[in-house]
Amino acid sequence: MPLYELGLVLTPDLEDQAREAFLGELKQLLAGHGASIVKEDVWGKRTLAYPIRHKREGYYLFWQFEGPGSAVAPLEYKLRLSDEVLRYLTLNLDRELRRARKMAAYRAAQQAAKAAAGAAAASEAQAPERETTGEVGEEG
């Protein structure tokens, strides 16, 4: 199953119990569609870069979960309709990791080509040129 990452910014004026209840609903929704949370990273209350819905702070939360693609649409629907959510973003990490690996391989190939070209230029510069003498063997 593909790996996804969900980034959430929740409204800061939610009580802890209400926030846990909402997150529990999201976890049940994911579990109902066959997804499981692999990693949970809670950043807590942070200042926003710009006001969203007249709020200057948000409660940040990141989940990595594995599940079928069919679990993403109902999750995003619930997040879109919820008043507790200021912003959300769901990423397909398999696609992102594949892209990152491809870029890393491309950069490594570029560096290897650059190093090979530099080594070839250095070896040509260090090799002394053979001087030819104008002497021709004597015939007798």
- List per-block mean pLDDT (blocks of 10 residues) for the chain, which spans 140 residues: 93 94 95 93 94 95 93 95 95 83 89 86 69 58
37: three-class secondary structure by DSSP: strand
pLDDT score for 80: 96
pLDDT score for 138: 58
pLDDT score for 126: 74
pLDDT score for 93: 87
pLDDT score for 133: 59
Q: Which alpha helices (DSSP H) does the chain contain, by range?
A: 16-32, 72-81, 93-126
| The CATH number of the domain covering residues in 3-92 | 3.30.70.60
Amino acid at 10: L
The dihedral over CA atoms of 68, 99, 91, 46, expressed in degrees to the nearest 10, equals: 150
pLDDT score for 131: 56
